[in-house]
């Protein structure tokens, strides 16, 4: 498949009408080699824009069993199949709606990438089976209760899951998608920018336009009662690896995680312009054991573009007006 040349930021009406778009050229890996570059104060220089697109699935497909690595031929075949499977242009909107998916715009606007980022068959590296650990009984009960609460909310034509009326953090574009933390490849805007000083690191996401300021001065975290959408991060250097620990998130956590999630991210600069990103999620309320995934990020010479989801448009208001109009027609 021909390499994409468009990277987009979009927001759309529920009916699929495009409201605002910010378009930029696809990130191109910048060439790099030799020793790891360093800042004037001696730490590895992680600054710049990093591209983390990948077709590698989070979990190892069950049909691959114990196979942890692709051969070159198998990787190419998987890339072709994944690209074809994810194409919105080849999907029936009615069938997608019946399955609970919304197709607001065609495949032109998506940018999953066209390659796996390593020979691994999953981003998950621990547990060794490449699968996310089982949910705890508490998390299963929470998931079931949420599904029950959503029944009858919204309309089947728009979303059987009722996200129109729910208006949660992800629906309002406050959190979610690939905005992190942690960072996971997704449909578009798989880009972040890092800026460093001696005492702080700033991690700026293209998606949702989050800017996370991480102090490196050893200060303690905030009291447990203080919560924010992204939580509170504290960083330190362990040798040449930047370690960032994040706690105190609100309830709209990553993959259903509870507010007690402890997230540990590790950023390690490798030769060849690759930033190895590892994220370990430790949440005894949600998963039966901690687990870790890894994403290799490619250095890019492109820019970060602004993401505007609900600001300065009528996305949310028009969704609700449409819902009220449909309800009135049924009376």
Regarding pTM above 0.75, the answer is yes
> What's the whole-number mean pLDDT along residues 212-237?
95
More confident site: 28 or 224: 224
Percent of the chain with pLDDT over 90: 50
At 252 the pLDDT is: 67
Q: Across the chain, what does the average pLDDT equal?
A: 81
Q: Is the pLDDT of residue 14 over 80?
A: no
Q: Is the pLDDT of residue 284 over 80?
A: yes
Domain boundary assignment for the chain: 6-330
At 7 the pLDDT is: 39
Question: How does 131-164 read in b/e, with b if 16+ C-beta sit within 10 Å?
Answer: ebbebbeebeebeeeeeeebeeebbeebbbbbbb
Whole-number CA gyration radius for the chain: 21
From the list 172, 150, 168, the residue with the least C-alpha distance to 159 is 150
Residues 154-200: pLDDT tens digits? 444 444 444 455 566 777 777 878 888 999 999 889 999 999 999 99
Contacts 24+ apart (CB under 8 A), 25-28: 25/302, 26/111, 26/302, 27/51, 27/53, 27/191, 27/298, 27/300, 27/301, 27/302, 28/300, 28/301, 28/302
d(CA 222, CA 241): 24
């Amino acid at each position: 498949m021909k390499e994409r040349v468009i990277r987009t930021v979009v927001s759309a009406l529920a009916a699929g009408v495009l409201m605002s778009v910010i378009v930029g050229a696809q990130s191109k890996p910048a060439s790099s080699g030799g020793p790891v570059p360093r800042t004037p104060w001696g730490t590895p220089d992680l600054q710049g824009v990093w591209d983390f697109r990948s077709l590698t699935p989070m979990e190892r497909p069950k049909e691959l069993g114990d196979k942890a690595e692709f051969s070159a031929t198998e990787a190419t075949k998987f890339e072709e199949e994944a690209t074809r499977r994810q194409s919105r242009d080849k999907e029936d909107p009615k069938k997608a709606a019946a399955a609970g998916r919304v197709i607001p715009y065609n495949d032109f606007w998506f940018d999953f990438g066209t390659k796996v980022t390593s020979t691994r068959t999953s981003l998950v590296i621990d547990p060794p089976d490449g699968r996310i650990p089982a949910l705890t009984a508490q998390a299963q009960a929470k998931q079931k209760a949420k599904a029950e609460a959503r029944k009858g909310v919204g309309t089947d034509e728009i979303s059987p899951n009722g996200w129109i009326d729910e208006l949660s953090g992800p629906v309002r574009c406050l959190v979610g998608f690939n905005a992190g933390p942690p960072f996971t490849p997704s449909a578009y805007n798989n880009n972040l920018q890092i800026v460093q000083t001696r005492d702080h690191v700033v991690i700026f996401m293209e998606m949702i336009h989050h800017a996370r300021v991480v102090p490196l001065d050893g200060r303690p975290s905030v009291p447990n009662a203080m919560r924010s959408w992204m939580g509170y991060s504290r960083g330190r250097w362990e040798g040449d690896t930047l370690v960032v620990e994040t706690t105190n998130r609100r309830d709209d956590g990553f993959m259903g995680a509870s507010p007690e999630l402890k997230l540990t991210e590790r950023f390690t600069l490798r030769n060849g312009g690759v930033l190895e990103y590892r994220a370990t999620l430790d949440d005894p309320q949600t998963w039966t054991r901690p687990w870790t995934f890894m994403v290799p990020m490619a250095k890019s010479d492109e820019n970060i573009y602004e993401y505007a989801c609900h600001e300065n448009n009528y996305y949310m208001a028009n969704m609700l007006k449409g819902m009220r109009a449909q309800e009135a027609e049924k009376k």
